[in-house]
Amino acid sequence: MKYPFPKVDLHFHLDGSIVPEVGWKIAQEPGVDLDVKTYEDYLKITTVPATGVEVDVFEYLAKFDNIVKLMQTREHLIEITYSTIKRACEEGLFYLEIRFAPQKHMEKGMTQKEAVEAVLEGIRQAAVDFPMIRVGLILCCMLSFDDNRAENEETVRLTEEYLGKGVVGVDLAGGEDSVPMENYDYLFTDYHKKGLPMTIHAGDNGKPTNVAMVIDWGANRVGHGKHCWYDKEVLQKVIDTKTPIEVCLTSNIHCKTEPSYEEHPAKKLLDAGVKVTLNTDNQSISNINLDFEYDRALERVGFTYNDLIQMNINSIEASFMPEEDKPMYIAELRKYFK
């Protein structure tokens, strides 16, 4: 169904949320290294059907390898960012935090800085045409089998440089526990002391103790985080520290990090006192939007309508927008409680 209240999405990957028609258009341009002949072929290698198909987390992540081939020039990044925000606005979002890994967009000579500036330009252009939606940008460091320490340090440095200029925070993404997450603490502990806003992927397909670890690093929020439910000590730490978690229902089902909507712990986490937020993760890869997620939340996970409003309020409270701006958004959402 279409939900009338203004919506918030805090866990939204740019590459995973490309408007399919825009991605297909770019895929047909000269110099784009994506060997697909038809729109249907494009969808097969870039999306997972919204229902009925499950992959594992690494099969799911492999979809990104195809998509980032479309995102290797300034012009393409601007177009993709603009059209993605346009769709989010049309779907009723009034606050959105987009995240992307600038180190993934250097195959044709762009620097990380140039990639960041291209996405920020797309955000600026969208702000002119769609002033009803506000957008912040999160820069992702990456877990990697290769030595990408220099690239990750550059990502954090760029977060510092552009903080308050469109960039709102930093993240660590990738295949959790594919490499030891504890090896990445150097990226966050020192910068936490400087007040850099942080949301870090943890407790999704990885062990629950990763959630406690990134809270100790200084994470303001945890990306996914729902595996904290399976460790009482970690769960209590999340509750005691009031650390919000960014739940993404359908991508969890697709990646088999939870067995089903019905068994997903999100509602139990909210009822236990966790600051749960509800997000899409990768709209286009998972072939969903927030209304789809809300339908599943009500019909299969056990949430109530008022829970949806509360989780959007949680999202505004947990967002990286300036604190003085939050009361206006929260007051608007409170009008929709039943």
pLDDT by 10-residue block (mean), the chain, 338 residues: 94 97 94 89 84 67 90 98 98 98 97 98 98 98 93 96 97 90 90 86 95 96 98 98 98 91 98 98 95 98 98 98 98 97
Instruction: Dump the DSSP string for 155-199.
Output: HHHHHHHHBTTTEEEEEEESSTTSS-GGGGGGGTHHHHHTT--BE
Angle between helices 209-217 and 232-241 (to 10 degrees): 30
Where do we find the tokens 């969890």?
252
**What homologous superfamily is domain 13-320 in, according to CATH?**
Metal-dependent hydrolases (3.20.20.140)
Q: How far apart are CA 18 and CA 78, in angstroms?
A: 12
- pLDDT score of 202: 97
pLDDT of residue 53: 57
The whole-number pLDDT of residue 74 equals: 98
Q: How far is CA 217 from CA 3, 188, 196, in A?
A: 37, 6, 12
Region of residue 275 (phi > 0: left; psi between -120 and 50: alpha; otherwise: beta): beta
Is 197 within 8 Å of 220 (Cβ atoms)? yes
The pLDDT, as a whole number, for residue 120 is 98
Picking from 119, 217, 203, the residue whose alpha carbon sits closest to that of residue 168 is 119
- Kindly tell me the number of DSSP H helices and DSSP E strands found in the chain: 15, 8
What DSSP string describes 48-80? --SSS----HHHHHHHHHHHGGG--SHHHHHHH
Rounded Cα gap, residues 4 and 124, in angstroms: 26
